[in-house]
Structure 1
Amino acid sequence: KNSRVLQVMYTEDQGRALGLGGWVKNTRQGTVIGQIQGPVQRVNSMKLWLKNVGSPSSRIDRAVFSNERDVSKLEVQGFSTRY
């Protein structure tokens, strides 16, 4: 598999391991976008992983997190890849 597919696979696996809801998607610009939902501590763990670790084949230039808000219940169940 190519490195772009592996990047989202590792991200998806990490989101599932943390019990988060959300999705990830490769963009045509070579970046990864997505949405993460769950308990604050787990979301923060995922953000640290995205910012500092990532998949073994990825190069992290920067991580941008936006539109953060509290939700009363998860709007996205499970963690998946979108195409």
Structure 2
Amino acid sequence: MPRLLSVDFEVFGRVQGVFFRKYTQQAARRLGVVGWCRNTPRDTVEGQAQAAAPVLAEMKRWLREVGSPQSKIERAEFRNEREVAELDYQGFTVKH
């Protein structure tokens, strides 16, 4: 069984007002990633993602390189990556 990982993320650039959270949720659901995301007062999008290691790697690539069609990603930062015994979430939600 693949290792389960959890990581906190923050995406910088033009990521608010361009449906970035909605597309992040869609990508996470398509890949099988659980967690959440929200806008921040710093005009970034932050969140937490959890999945099997290879799936999480693909989600991180999506956050760094793809995003929503109108977004312009400057960079994505990942912190606190760690192995977890089980997933903490049932699905992927957008927090307001």
The two structures have a TM-score, normalised by structure 1, of 0.92
The 5-angstrom pairing of residues 9-28 of structure 1 reads 9-28=22-41
1:38 corresponds to 2:51: yes
Give TM-score scaled by structure 2 length: 0.80
Residue number in structure 2 paired with 1:4: 17
Q: Please, what is the CA RMSD of the aligned residues?
A: 1.1
Residue among 69, 77, 81 paired with 2:90: 77
- RCO greater where, 1 or 2, for CA within 8 Å and sep 6 or more? 2
Consecutive unaligned residues of structure 2, counting only runs of 5 or more, are 1-15
1:49 corresponds in structure 2 to 62
Tell me if structure 2 keeps the 8 A contact 1:4–1:26: no
* Identity over aligned pairs, percent: 44
- Which letter does structure 2 place at the counterpart of 1:51? R
Mapped to 2, the partners of 1:58 and 1:5 lie a distance apart of: 6
Richer in helix (by share): 1
Give the drift of 1:5. Answer: 5.9
Higher strand share: 2
